[in-house]
Structure formats: structure tokens, C-alpha cells
Amino acid sequence: MNAIISASDLVKDLDSARPPVLLDVRWQLSAAKAAGEPPFDGRTAYEAGHLPGAVYVDLDRELASAPGKGGRHPLPDLAQFGTAMRRAGVSAGTPVVVYDGGQGWAAARAWWLLSWTGHPDVRVLDGGLPSWEGPLETSVPAPAEGDFVPEPGVTGLLDADAAAALARSGVLLDARAGERYRGEVEPIDPVAGHIPGAVSAPTTENVGADGRFLPAGELRERFGGLGVREGSRVGVYCGSGVSAAHEVLALAAAGIPAELYVGSWSEWSSDPDRPVAVGPDPQ
């Protein structure tokens, strides 16, 4: 099943006999705090207008645990995650479509978590809210309680040691901006650079100017140019496991399974004993 859905196809699905549950996961990482400005408030944006019937999901509180040794966005407690999903009306037998403000990172994090914990039918709205041409609503729905119980997947998740090993034995992609990979700047985490052996693969290059994913063939060509071959084991990390989920989604759209290092650079760089590489080359 394609993990991405267009706005036009979503309209059809919402009118079908089996409409999807809609999750609004608007979130963004910004420098507002450092600039003395108020941070982006996803719930306020949701209450100002959202897809009809959509339920708001808070990435920081419901799709991640509190920042700590595991990074800035560690895995959430799965019992709490399950409670949040059931509150939103998510059931194992009902399709789910997630969207955000257009960047796609937060929606991809929700897609990855639901998929990794066993939901069989989750898709991301390509282009997010800006791609939607239908009406919006401001009322907050009260969906019937869902029955989804998350169970951790046996594959698909990397820890720091597994990511380091994969950088040597397979293909480990760094989804952050190139200047952060090269160690030229680091606006958030304590150390600049990348995991030795990782390949620079900014997730922003998986989409076109309109914010929608490139066609599957173009994505396969892009990842092939980064060293991904048929049968390659592929992993992805970023700053805190959010934009990397978007790259895992792009790989899925290209027909390439990939694993996510959720702790990502925020976890890796917090340990002074872990090696750091700088410059344009993997090593």
C-alpha cells in the first residue's frame, strides 16, 4: 500500500464506506525561542481551522517522551501513545491519514510510530494542509474511542550502536541539512558533525518546490545515487528522529524499507565518547 495519499484521493476516501480517521499533527522546529519570540503552537493553529473531523495530536507530548539521554524526541511511552491514539478514534481496522502544516516531518513521525507499532493502514497527506482545497472547520470533534493497542515492532528501529554498525555494513543516511552534516554549523545540539560512515541525504531534497514528494522513480534514482542498492540495509537519522521519519517515508514511497534511529544526533552528540566526523565525506 502506498504510504502517501493525495488530497484528491483523500476526498474520495472520506466519501467512501470506510473513511479514514484524520490526525492533525502540526508542529515545527524553529529558532523562535532563541530569538525571544513565542514558539509555534500547533493546537492554536488546529483550532483556527483543520480538516473536517480531524483530531489534534501533540508531537512533543504524544509522539515523544520528554527530552533526555535518549535525545530531544525519544520514543513515547507506548501505553500513553496508545491512549492518545484511542482518544483520537484510532482503531486497528480503520484507515488513518495524518497531515501537518505542509513540511511533512511531523506527519511522518506519526505515520512511522503507528506503522512501527502495528497499525496496518496509515498514510500521509502529500503536501499537508496547504494541498487541501476543501472546507476547514474550527469545531473540535469528539470521536468514538478507538481500539488500537500499539505493540513495538521487531524491526525498523535503531539504537546508537546499531546505527554505528549500519554505517559500516550498510547505508546510514543523515537527513539533516548539509551544513550540519559537514559540521559547519550546529544550532541545536552540543556538537557539530555526523556519525562516521553516514551519508549526507537532506530530507528537503525528497520533495519538489510545491512540498509534495518527488515521483517514486525519481526518489529511487536519488537514493541509488547515495549508495542504496537492491538488498541494501538502510537506516536514517536526523537531529531528533522527526525529519528522519520523513526520509523513511520517502524511502517507503520508493519501495525501499528503512530503519529509523530515533535518538539521532541529539542522542549521539550528547555522549562525549562517541566519535564525530566532520566535512563532506562519510568518514
pLDDT tens digits along 100-128? 999 999 999 999 999 999 999 999 999 99
In the block, residue with C-alpha cell 495524518 = 98
Contact 174, 199 (CB under 8 A): yes
pLDDT of 28 reads 85
Which ranges in the chain are annotated with CATH 3.40.250.10? 4-131, 157-268
Contact 4, 212 (CB under 8 A): no
Which residues are tagged catalytic? 238
- Stretches where the chain sits below pLDDT 50 are 31-34
Cα(140)–Cα(22) distance, integer angstroms: 12
pLDDT of 39 reads 77
pLDDT of 30 reads 58
Chosen CATH of 157-268 out of 3.10.20.30, 3.40.50.2300, 3.40.50.10140, 3.40.250.10: 3.40.250.10
In which order are the strands placed within the sheet that holds 199-200? 157-158, 259-261, 234-237, 171-174, 199-200
Strand, coil or helix: what is 4?
Answer: strand
pLDDT of 32 reads 40
Whole-structure pTM value: 0.95
pLDDT of 37 reads 61
pLDDT of 29 reads 76
